[in-house]
Amino acid sequence: MAINPLAPEWLSLPADANALADGLWPISATRNADGELVVGGVSASALAAEFGTPLYVIDETDARTRATELRTAFETEFARIGGAVRVYYAGKALLTTEIARWMVADGLNIDICTGGELAVALAAGVDPARLGFHGNNKSLAEIDQATRVGIGTIVIDSPIEIDRVAAAAARNGIVQAVRLRVNSGVHAHTHEFLATAHEDQKFGVVLEDAPHLVAAIRAKESLRFTGLHCHIGSQIFGAEGFAESASRLLAVHAGLLADGPVPELNLGGGFGIAYTSADTPTPVPELAARLADIVSVECARRGIPIPTVAFEPGRVIIGPAGVTLYEVGTVKPVEVSLGSPSRSATRLYVSVDGGMSDNPRPALYGADYSVRIAGRVSDADPALVRIAGKHCESGDIVVDADYLPADVAPGDLVAVAATGAYCWSLSSNYNYQGRAPIVAVKDGSARMLVRGETIADLLARDAGLATGRAGRDTTTDEGIL
Ligand SMILES: Cc1ncc(COP(=O)(O)O)c(C=O)c1O
Q: What is the pLDDT of residues 43-84, one digit of tens each?
A: 999 999 999 999 999 999 999 999 999 999 999 999 999 999
User: CA triplet 217, 223, 226: central angle to 5 degrees?
Assistant: 75
| DSSP state, residue 394 | T
pLDDT at 21: 95
For the chain, the first-to-last Cα distance in angstroms comes to 46
Single-letter code of the amino acid located at 15: A
Asked whether 221 and 179 are in contact (CB, 8 A), the reply is no
| Whether residue 122 has its Cβ less than 6 Å from ligand 1 | no
Alpha-carbon gap, residue 169 to 148, rounded angstroms = 8
The partner residues of 386 in beta bridges, in order of sequence, read 349
* Summary mean pLDDT of the chain: 94
pLDDT at 466: 62
Task: Specify the ligand 1 atom closest to the Cα of 421.
Answer: 9
Distance (Å) from CA 14 to ligand 1 centroid: 33
Query: Which of the 8 DSSP states describes residue 246?
Result: H
Is any atom of ligand 1 closer than 6 Å to the C-beta of 90?
yes
234 CA closest ligand 1 atom index: 10
Q: Which pLDDT score, from 0 to 100, does residue 480 have?
A: 36
What sign has the CA pseudo-torsion 388, 390, 393, 396? negative
- Say whether pTM exceeds 0.75: yes
Closest Cα to atom 12, ligand 1: which residue? 269
> Is 135 a pocket residue for ligand 1 (Cβ < 6 Å)?
no
Query: Would the CB of 234 count as within 6 Å of ligand 1?
Result: yes
Alpha carbon nearest to ligand 1 atom 8, residue = 270
Q: Quick check: 209 and 184 in contact, CB under 8 A?
A: no
Q: How far apart are CA 267 and CA 228, in angstroms?
A: 8
Query: 281: Cβ below 6 Å to ligand 1?
Result: no
Asked if 359 contacts 423 with a C-beta cutoff of 8 angstroms, the reply is: yes
* Burial class of residue 305, CB neighbours in 10 A (0-12, 13-18, 19+): exposed
User: How many angstroms separate the CA atoms of 115 and 48, rounded?
Assistant: 33
Q: How many CA atoms lie within 13 A of 431 on its CB side?
A: 13
Q: Which of 124, 125, 151, 123 is nearest to 138 (CA)?
A: 151
Question: 450 C-alpha vs ligand 1 centroid, how far in Å?
Answer: 22
Distance CA 233, CA 35 (A): 39
Strand, coil or helix: 277: coil
Which positions are catalytic? 392
CB 283 within 8 A of CB 23: no
Strand partners, 413: 327
Report DSSP state, residue 271: B
| Residue 271, ligand 1, Cβ within 6 A | yes
* Distance of CA 346 from the midpoint of ligand 1 (Å): 39
Q: For the purposes of burial, counting CB atoms within 10 Å of the CB of 98, is it exposed (0-12), middle (13-18) or buried (19 or more)?
A: middle
- Quick check: 409 and 373 in contact, CB under 8 A? no
Indicate which residue's Cα is closest to atom 1 of ligand 1. Answer: 231
- Regions of the chain with pLDDT less than 50: 468, 470-481
pLDDT of residue 467: 57
Residue 235 Cα: closest atom of ligand 1: 10
Query: Cβ atoms within 10 A of the Cβ of 303, count?
Result: 7
Q: Is 134 in the pocket of ligand 1 (CB under 6 A)?
A: yes
Find the 315 Cα to ligand 1 centroid distance in Å.
8
CA distance 315 to 338: 37
